[in-house]
Amino acid sequence: MELIAQKPILIGKDVIPDGESFETHDRHAKELIDKGYAALKGAATAAPPAGNGQGELKPGEQFVAGKAADVIASIEGTDKELLAAALEAEKAKGEKQRKGVVEALTAAVEA
């Protein structure tokens, strides 16, 4: 499906900027649309969902926004600068940081 990013989206190793079109499979497209990250190309775009009042997610925050298993699976092949930003974002969660994610990101950054 062809979508338009409503906010920066990390797809693999690439960040799709707000307003840029991109293609993905149907299941992923539905998830992105449901979360307010994207809209169908050619469809009227709705206002983005209310956030946490802190503005757009930075690439490091976007990288660690998913499930722990998905974050860890995405580490291989990702540049160290993005991984360092992701590690910082995960640690900024305080008590809600995920130990496995922190360990995997730390190992990747130090490799």
Mean pLDDT of the chain: 83
Is residue 21 over pLDDT 60? yes
For the chain, where are the alpha helices, taking DSSP H only? Answer: 26-34, 59-63, 68-73, 80-91, 99-110
Least confident range from 3-12, 14-23, 27-36, 40-49: namely 40-49
Q: By C-alpha distance, which of 2, 1, 6, 10 is closest to 64?
A: 10
Instruction: Tell me: pLDDT of 65 over 50.
Output: yes
Domains in the chain: ranges and CATH? 1-53 (3.40.5), 57-111 (no CATH)
Token reading at 104 = 């995997």
Helix (H, G, I), strand (E, B) or coil at 99: helix
